[in-house]
Amino acid sequence: MSPRLADLRGDVRAFAAASLKELRILRRYPGTILSFVFWPIALPLAFVFQAQAFSGGRADTAAAFAERTGTHDVAGFLFVGWATYMWLSLILWGPGTSLRTEQVRGSLEAIFLTPASRLVVLFGPAISQLIWAIWIFVVVGIALWVGFGVAIGPVEALRALGVILVGVPALYAIGALFAAVVLRFGQVNALVQGVRGLFTAVCGMSFPILVLPDWAQVVALSLPPTYLIADLREVLLIGTGIGRIVGDLVVLAGMGLVLGILAVVAFRRTEQYARRGGRLAQY
């Protein structure tokens, strides 16, 4: 076996081990998992009540909502939007926080002392982010079914899983870009807060982007969460098949590829910078 192929096989195993490590650690914090039963229900519920208050329960306002969103299901619309927001928040914080924790603990240097590819440390925790996504959407699905009688069938759930899988690379790549910032500047909080604010403002967590000004819609359409939220609503609430949103999914996958390459390049450059300045273990 050529050394290059041996390295590749080794890196695949290292990636699997990094994912397993993340899942093991996640399993040992059951309190965190339980907290994500409460928030995916409480946060959108507040917006559902707000919507009810604004609409006054009138037929014309409900029709206006349906015209703009394609569904009469206000609760479903808000629950899916905010569930995506919560998952997105976890992803934005995830890789950067994980890298920062490794840096402060000293294990980042220990990882960099191994022959494993640097991308293992960058993308290894991605699998646990997928678990979080599934967990949040399961909680939301149950809440919609029990609280509002919105039943999501297995076919819709499978389609949603497909959308999530296509969306993971793009969202995770954004998180990985933040991880590169962590290695460069040591902290990422302000940037993450800013980007999260931008996503909340324009990506349509609690409203259809049609209500935005034209320029803001252009911004929204350049951001991956917009496609993810819209497509999840399509498959979960309207029953649209994957075939009809394939264009969106291609765009989402393309964004994932571009952002992924950007993240890898940024991470390599910041690693080089850290290696020159001795910042791998600095905090």
Site residues (vs another protein, CB under 8 A): 6-7, 10-11, 13-14, 16-18, 20-21, 24-25, 28-29, 105-107, 109-116, 120, 272, 275-278, 280-281
* Smallest separation (angstroms) from another protein to the CB of 5: 12
Both tokens of 274, joined, read 């850290």
Both tokens of 92, joined, read 């934005």
In terms of CB distance, is 58 or 276 closer to another protein?
A: 276
* Smallest separation (angstroms) from another protein to the CB of 106: 3
Can you tell me whether residue 257 is helix, strand or coil? helix
* Smallest separation (angstroms) from another protein to the CB of 278: 5
Measured distance CA(159)–CA(255) in Å, rounded: 20
* Smallest separation (angstroms) from another protein to the CB of 139: 24
CA distances from 129 to 42, 81, 121, 136 (A): 21, 17, 14, 11
In terms of CB distance, is 28 or 58 closer to another protein?
A: 28
Q: How far does CA 51 lie from the centroid of its chain?
A: 25
In terms of CB distance, is 72 or 105 closer to another protein?
A: 105
Are 108 and 102 contacting, i.e. CB atoms less than 8 angstroms apart? yes
* Smallest separation (angstroms) from another protein to the CB of 107: 5
In terms of CB distance, is 59 or 113 closer to another protein?
A: 113
* Smallest separation (angstroms) from another protein to the CB of 28: 5
Alpha helices in the chain (DSSP H): 3-27, 30-55, 59-69, 74-105, 107-112, 118-123, 126-148, 154-185, 189-202, 214-221, 224-233, 246-277
Measured distance CA(168)–CA(165) in Å, rounded: 5
Measured distance CA(240)–CA(260) in Å, rounded: 28
In terms of CB distance, is 98 or 206 closer to another protein?
A: 98
In terms of CB distance, is 22 or 73 closer to another protein?
A: 22
Are 192 and 93 contacting, i.e. CB atoms less than 8 angstroms apart? yes
Measured distance CA(239)–CA(155) in Å, rounded: 9
In terms of CB distance, is 95 or 204 closer to another protein?
A: 95
Measured distance CA(186)–CA(181) in Å, rounded: 7
Are 144 and 150 contacting, i.e. CB atoms less than 8 angstroms apart? yes
In terms of CB distance, is 18 or 229 closer to another protein?
A: 18
Q: Is the dihedral of CA 144, 72, 159, 192 positive or negative?
A: negative
* Smallest separation (angstroms) from another protein to the CB of 171: 25
* Smallest separation (angstroms) from another protein to the CB of 135: 19
